[in-house]
Structure formats: structure tokens, C-alpha cells
Amino acid sequence: MLTAMKTDTPIKSVVNLVNPPLIPKGRIGRFVYEQEIGQGSVGIVYLFRDPLIGRKVAIKVLNPQLPADKRQLFEKHFIQEARAAGRLNHPNIVTVYDADKSGDLLFIVMEYLEGKELSTMLSEGHQFSYRQIADLISRIASALDYAHEHGVIHRDIKPANIFISDKGAPKVLDFGIASASRQLSDADATLDYDTLLGRRLLGTPNYMSPEQAKSAAVDARSDIFSLGVVLYQLLCGQLPFKANDIPGLLRAIAHDSVIPPQEIKSDVPLRLARIAAKALSKKPADRYQLASDMARDLNRFVEKERTERIIAKIQQPEQNKTGFSKERRATPPSQLGRRHIGLVLAAILVVSPVLWMTLKSLNKSPLAESTQAAEISPNQVAASDASASIPGAVIAEPQQSTKTEAASISTSMPEESGPSRPTAAENKVDNSTKLSNTKAAAVIRKSEPTVSSTGTVSIAVSPWGEVFVDGHSKGVAPPLTKLKLSLGKHKIEMKNGDDNYAVNIEVNTEKEIKLSHRF
């Protein structure tokens, strides 16, 4: 558990400072002392309780042990911090409640947070995903953009000044050297290195911008460079600039090129590497001109990564308890059509030999039956053929002629002993039978069912959307671009998070239906 107020040096006991002369009766104003949190070179941070509303607060007190010749300078920057942070109200900036002076005690009352500084998390080996890194830096960039709009430049962005709450929300801390409307004097900007760096008044060396390293005038783009250093460190696990001493480090910051993140860690996303490279440009004009621009690019990466995860999750088939995909429970319409066609063709192959054998038997029947077959009307042949083309249909036998017709035919023919030779009537029957066979084959060919027709529906969704047809998910567009649907009416739905778009269409084979929607 830490406070929003951080320190740059290891925490150590300052019991000798917490005594009645420093904090009379354990109070500062109405706030009741509870414990020390930590201390730095300038201030000491304590945990107090506000008895009026029962709220815990962090109180930063200017170290009373500072040398007298330095105290006045530090008091100026201490008050500067209160003024700078006190007028900022942003969810990612620590909130300042009050600032006052009680006797010789100068203090700032700030919100108390539970969590850890980013520097502590890194030293403990905490690993962030690339999505978490982008989200974290984008929020800090938004906080800096807000501060810049209110004329406040932080000037000391670094992991020690970024606090991560227990809920994962970042808070920008310590505006102690912030420049509110360029209120720092030229004398402050030309202090010697011992004062600048040893006291950390005008920036921590590793995170300084080239302008700071050259002691030149700075603007909001200096904070963007420092934030780029933090981003680079999170991506690569190391700082972009290194040297054996402070002068060498300042020269590297001002002049040396940065090693591309992919050369250090090959899996660093290219988009994040480009964002870091732009933020770390030596010339301010080549960097992001606004922190909000940097936040926008980081948010785009987060959104794209989120979309890709959703698509991957949707496209991965869900497994049921038996280990089979749910996709096997429902047969697509196109597969149903192919199955029906196969059944019809199989039935035709079974029925056709039966029809052929029946017609062949007519050829070998007695003369009276042959004559009857020859006298069957074309309508009867067609009806018989049609029934043969239907799977499972029974072929009707030719109706028997009356006895009178049979007698008249038989009496008209001379009786012969031995094998009979084909007569004109028999030839006529044979020809009629062949003709019937030809017609039957033609009817069978004509009656064969055609392949079930489907229509095409083109899908264009921006940026993405899950597509449903008649309540069933068909995938995500993109990459889904076309649907093959059975003919008839369908309901098409596209869903993007809580957004929903629905339309009713009628599919036909004449033209392709095109659907497009932007969420």
C-alpha cells in the first residue's frame, strides 16, 4: 500500500522528524497524523486522516532539514507543485485538496491511493502485455494533454512519477518542477548540474528531452518525449539512452539514435514501435505535436487488438461435451440440397432397370398383349413414364383389352403350325415398343431434378460486425464477404458490441444482393 505521493529515495525512518516540535500534538491543521509513508530529497510524505469526513489523505511536507540557503528555492518549487496540480481535475492526475503553511511547516494535502509506483512494479519484474502498455501510456498521454491545455508542463515524466492503483488506473504524480505558464525564471533554468540533477528539480536525466539536456526552452512536446522514453522502456525492458556518467548521458539524449525496439525484442508490435519512435524524435517538430495525438494512436492499437481477439474467439469452433463442434449439429442448406439430389439420382438408377425390363417383357408377350401395348395411347405412356421418374413410384400395368377385341384380333390371323414368323402387326408392335422405350428414356431425362439454386449476398461491414442469418451466426465481416443462401426470404443481422443492424431480404438467382453497413 502506497500513497499518491511518491519518493525518489529508499524509505527510511524519520521518527526524529515526527515529534511535537514538527507536528504539534500529531496534527497538521485539522488532519490527524497516522504514519509516515516515505521521504525524498525535498519532501516527506505522511498518511493523515481527515476527521471531518473520515477520509485518508496523503500530506507532503517540505523537509525542514534542508539547508537554509536552499530552502527558499525549494519552497518556490513546492508551492509551484501545489498551484500546478491544484487546478487540474483529471481521473489520471493525482488530486490536490489543499496547500497551506503552518508556522514553518509548508505542506500539500493530496488524495491517498492504494497501489504501487510504476518504477516499483518494474523493479519487481512485473510484465505488462502490449495491450496493457498501450492502454496505460494512452491514459497518461490524455492526462498530460489535459495539463498542457491548462498551461501546465510536468517536466519530469518517469515511472517513479506514475502511480498504478490497485484497480490498474494510472495517476500522474509530483508536479514539483512543473512549469505553469512558464513561471520558472531564467535563473532557475541555468542552475548547475548538481542542483538540477542531484535535486531532481528540472527532470530526471534518463527521461529528459533533448531540449532539457541542452538547457534550452521547453514546451509540452518535452513531456511527450519523456513519455516516449517510458513507452520504450516498457516495450523493450531497457532505457533507450545509456552512458557511464551524466554528461555522457545528456550527449546521448541530444544526439544518439535510438535502437529500434524490434532489434531488442522481435515480438514488439510494429505500430507500437512506430509510436515510440515518433515520440522520441530529436526535433520537437517531428514528434507528436499534441499528447492527444499520441493517445489517439495508442487507442487505435488497443481497439484493433481487441477486435482481433473477438474475431479469433468467434471463429474458433466451440466444442460440446462430446468433443464435437456445434457446427456439426446443423447441416448447411447447400449440403441438404446435394443430399436430396443424390437420393433422387439413386432412385432413378433403381427404377430405370425395372422400367426397361417391363418394356422388354412387352416385346416377348403373346400377340394379343403386344397388340394391346401398341394401342396404348401416348397419354398413358407419358403417365407411366412420369411415374417411373418418381422415386418409389409403382409402374401401372397396361389395362387388359376386352374379350371382343382379343377375339377379333385372333380370328383375323391365320393359324400356322410351328414357329410363327413375324407378321406386320408384330413388327408394328415391336416398333411401337421401341418408340415407347425412347419416349420413356426422354421422359426420365426431362424429369431429373435440377440442382437446388442458391443466391449470393455480398457483405461489407466497417469496422467489423458479426453476421447472423435467420438467427444463426455465419461469422465476422471482415473477413467474411459473401454468403450463399437458399432462395427465398431471410433476415440478416449485423452486430458490433451493443450496436445492431437488421434487414430483411429476398434471395433469388437473378442478381447478387449487396449489403453494407458502418457502425
List the catalytic residues.
Answer: 166
Q: Is 309 exposed, middle or buried (0-12, 13-18, 19+ CB in 10 A)?
A: exposed
CA 502 → CA 483, 492, 494, 496, distances in Å? 16, 6, 6, 12
User: What are the contacts of 180-183 at 24+ separation with CB within 8 A?
Assistant: 180/80, 180/83, 180/84, 180/151, 180/152, 180/153, 181/151, 183/80
Q: Which residues contact 407 (CB under 8 A, 6 or more apart)?
A: none
DSSP 3-state assignment of 357?
helix
Cα–Cα dist 466/314, whole Å: 8
Query: For 305, what's the count of Cα atoms within 13 Å in the CB-facing half-sphere?
Result: 17
Tell me the DSSP string of 184-253: S-HHHHT--HIIIIITTSS--GGG--HHHHTT----HHHHHHHHHHHHHHHHHSS-S---SSHHHHHHHH
- Cα distances (Å, whole numbers) of residue 360 to 353, 363, 382, 430: 10, 5, 17, 10
The answer to whether the beta carbons of residues 27 and 33 sit under 8 Å apart is yes
Tell me the C-alpha to C-alpha distance, in Å, between residue 337 and each of 85, 109, 500. Answer: 71, 76, 31
* Closest among 337, 316, 339, 317 to 329, alpha carbons compared: 317
> In a 3-state reduction of DSSP, which class is residue 272?
helix
Q: In what order do the strands lie in the sheet with 482-486?
A: 482-486, 454-462, 513-518
Instruction: Count how many Cα atoms sit within 13 Å of the Cα of residue 116 in the half-sphere of its side chain.
Output: 9
**CB within 8 Å of 442: residues ≥ 6 apart:** none
Tell me the pairing of strands 43-50 and 454-462: unpaired
Rg over CA atoms, the chain: 45
Q: How many CB atoms lie within 10 A of CB 251?
A: 15
Question: In this structure, are residues 241 and 252 in contact, taking their beta carbons and an 8 Å threshold?
Answer: yes
249 to each of 212, 243, 279, 495, how far by Cα in Å?
Answer: 12, 5, 19, 53
